[in-house]
Structure 1
Amino acid sequence: MTRRIAVLTAGVVLLVLFGLVGTTLPVPYVAQVPGPTFNTLGEFEGEPIISIEGRERNDVEGNLNLTTVGVSRGGLSLVQAVVGWFDDEVSIVPEEAVYPPDRTEEETRRANREAFLTSEQAAQTVALGRLGYPVKVVVQGLADDSPSEGALEEGDALEAVDGVPTPDSEALTEVLQSIPGGSSVTVSYTRLDEPGTATVTTRAAEDRPGSLLGVTILEQPSAPFDVDIQVEDVGGPSAGLMLTLGILDLVGEEDLTEGAVIAGTGTMDTDGNVGPIGGIPLKMVAAEEIGAELFLVPAGNCAEAAAAPDPGFPLARVATLDDALRALDDFTAGRTPPLC
């Protein structure tokens, strides 16, 4: 065997070895890909994503799709990571950016789910406030072994305790501080626009004087109907904007889409501000796959969205709920909304 052949043979062997290692060697990265989209005006697994109890939902057509990002399960190989870096529809990110090292994977999923539930609350607060419903102290849930079990329900607006009005959480706390634990009190409430009363035997508070009802509360607009949002396996706060728009379309006075397919993303705070999110290019790909005609982009993501491959639809720049509503109004009227 000549020296040249020996060198070539050794080189081929090394290339094969490196190729084998590259397909099996794990790297601390994960792949993010376009995730499923959910039409907030439609259904998921046969059930409405936004259900309304106490009134009929508006008969609307069109789509208001919230967009998501999927994450690969299991570690990537070196070859998979390199291939993903050159794919416009894949984002390779450090594993710790998705799964923080100080949390287990289950803890991360739980935190993301809690963030989604918080975005639901913000969406309801902003949408119902936009429609002019008054702010009241509303029951969000009952504690374990709550003394209010069977008497009060999630969604009840607390009007008074023993005849003392409770227009806000401070007033409710003040009246409960004056009542010893174990006392029987009459709670006046409104449920689906119907007034009612309940008798509750309070429990002694541990961190302050007086007693408690064993409920979690939130000051938010109270409507004569209940809104319930059901989207499983979606985490994070980025659905806030599209959930808000979905509620407005289903119980408001205007058809926001007029049959068009609208997609978007963005957090929503209780003041109606739209915040930036991660994975905007991948969410645009997901929107393109469902035939979106307009995409609502948080203002803080506009530079990144504009730099991504052209998705074939306008990218409306929105910093607030008002911006989003104006963009939809412009689009349905045939005008061009403010773009990224």
Structure 2
Amino acid sequence: MPRRTATMLASTLMLIALLCAGVLTPVPYAAMSPGPTVNTLGDHAGEPVLQISGHRTYATSGHLNMTTVRVTSADYRMNLVEAVYGWLAHDDKIVPHDTLYPDGKTEEQSTQENAEEFSQSQESAKVAALKKLDVPVKSWVIVSTVIKGSPAEGRLHAGDVIKSVDGTTVRQPSDVAKLVTKHKPGQDVVFTVVPAKEQAAAEKQHTTATKTENVTIRTTTSKDTGARRAIVGISAGTDHTFPFSIDIKLADVGGPSAGLMFALGIYDKLTPGSLTGGTFVAGTGTIDDDGTVGPIGGIEMKTVGAREKGAQYFLTPADNCAAAAKDTPSGLTLVKVKTIGDALGALKDIRDGHTADLPKCTVKG
């Protein structure tokens, strides 16, 4: 066999061997790519995304699209070839597996957590929009979750309204932990609660629940990485009663990042005229009850997905601006927002044609 032919054959076999090794070699990475984008003012899967009853609504136009990121599953093991391809691909992002699934989080745990965050973001979006419209919303502190095997299991239940702890009135979720940790592990703490069933029945009849129960729970010692402290094994959250029905119909989506766009969609439907002036606006960002917009993950993927669908403007959380501005898709204007008020002001500039006045994102933030 001629030397040149032998050399080429050896090189080919070596390349094949390297490719096989790359395919068979798992690496501790995961992939992120642009996910679906949905117009909160429109329909999805055959029904309106935002469904409001019991209050007058108005016609809307244009787009207020929420955006998503598609990620590989927790149990997917990427190989070296896929990782290299992802690093070279412009629209994908390869990140350490632990970035998406820290502490060995399973797919089931991640899905549950995302569902809870998505549900909370919907509630906060409703509250933020109605507060901006000066529509009163009733709020109270509830038991959000009960840890399995904790002292609170079987004593307190998700949805119980926490009126007081040791006789001290609870006004916000953080009050609960502060009052419990005043105890030493092993001491008793007394919760005064409205049982979840009583609260649900009262809400259904549009009345106020008055039946309360005192529940005594013996505290135990925390087992996390923080300072040793007394706990009972619950997390507290906030629930609300709205003066009319607002339903958000969007399946197979998780996480808190659609909060801002849901709030804007609700606001648009409850006010005359069009917030967008008929333009295609997309965006992202968490939102709290007071309308503060927070940062999200995967901003680069979301701007790409929005532009591919035709977005002209992208409402961007201020803390994500620097990352987003490093690689802005052509034809997309990144608009910096910190609150729902900022977003509404930017939308007014867009529909009035005053785009030079928009607070734009830069690589410096």
* TM-score with structure 2 setting the length: 0.72
The residue number in structure 2 matching 1:306 is: 325
Runs (5+) with no aligned partner, structure 1:
144-153, 155-165, 171-176, 209-215
- State yes or no: 1:136 paired with 2:126: no
Identity %: 43
Q: Is the 8 A contact 1:34 1:68 kept in 2?
A: yes
CA RMSD of aligned residues (A): 3.8
Counterpart of 2:38, as a letter, is F
**1:208-240 Cα shifts (integer Å, max 9, x gaps):** 9xxxxxxx98465x5431111122121111111
Deviation at 1:204, TM superposition (A): 5.3
Secondary structure in structure 2 of the residue aligned to 1:116: helix
Runs (5+) with no aligned partner, structure 2:
146-158, 160-168, 174-189, 219-235
Matches within 5 A, 1:264-283: 264-283=283-302
Q: Is the 8 A contact 2:303 2:328 kept in 1?
A: no
**1:122 equivalent among 109, 119, 124:** 124
Q: Is the 8 A contact 1:169 1:219 kept in 2?
A: no
Change (3 A) 1:335 1:260: same
2-structure distance, mates of 1:72, 1:135: 39
**1:237-274 Cα shifts (integer Å, max 9, x gaps):** 11111011011111234521122211000111222211
Deviation at 1:80, TM superposition (A): 1.6
**1:276-323 Cα shifts (integer Å, max 9, x gaps):** 111111111111121112110111111111111433121111111111
The residue number in structure 1 matching 2:315 is: 296
2-structure distance, mates of 1:186, 1:282: 41
Q: Larger deviation: 130-139 or 25-34?
A: 130-139
Change (3 A) 1:139 1:62: farther
The residue number in structure 2 matching 1:146 is: none
2-structure distance, mates of 1:228, 1:321: 20
1-structure distance, mates of 2:97, 2:7: 39
Secondary structure in structure 2 of the residue aligned to 1:236: coil
Matches within 5 A, 1:8-47: 8-47=8-47
Secondary structure in structure 2 of the residue aligned to 1:284: helix
Matches within 5 A, 1:183-198: 196=207
Deviation at 1:137, TM superposition (A): 3.8
The residue number in structure 2 matching 1:339 is: 360
Change (3 A) 1:179 1:294: closer
Matches within 5 A, 1:80-91: 80-91=82-93
**2:215 equivalent among 191, 205, 224:** 205
The residue number in structure 2 matching 1:246 is: 265
1-structure distance, mates of 2:105, 2:93: 22
Q: Larger deviation: 70-79 or 237-246?
A: 70-79
The residue number in structure 1 matching 2:233 is: none
Change (3 A) 1:108 1:80: same
2-structure distance, mates of 1:315, 1:266: 13
Q: Is the 8 A contact 1:29 1:92 kept in 2?
A: yes
1-structure distance, mates of 2:350, 2:193: 58
1-structure distance, mates of 2:14, 2:237: 66
1-structure distance, mates of 2:88, 2:194: 65
Secondary structure in structure 1 of the residue aligned to 2:104: coil
Q: Larger deviation: 6-15 or 285-294?
A: 6-15
The residue number in structure 2 matching 1:93 is: 95
* TM-score with structure 1 setting the length: 0.77
- State yes or no: 1:69 paired with 2:69: yes
Q: Is the 8 A contact 2:303 2:329 kept in 1?
A: no
- State yes or no: 1:233 paired with 2:252: yes
Deviation at 1:27, TM superposition (A): 1.8
Secondary structure in structure 2 of the residue aligned to 1:303: helix
Secondary structure in structure 1 of the residue aligned to 2:102: coil
Secondary structure in structure 2 of the residue aligned to 1:31: strand
The residue number in structure 2 matching 1:158 is: none
2-structure distance, mates of 1:60, 1:224: 22
2-structure distance, mates of 1:40, 1:311: 24
**1:155-184 Cα shifts (integer Å, max 9, x gaps):** xxxxxxxxxxx9x789xxxxxx999999xx
Change (3 A) 1:36 1:11: same
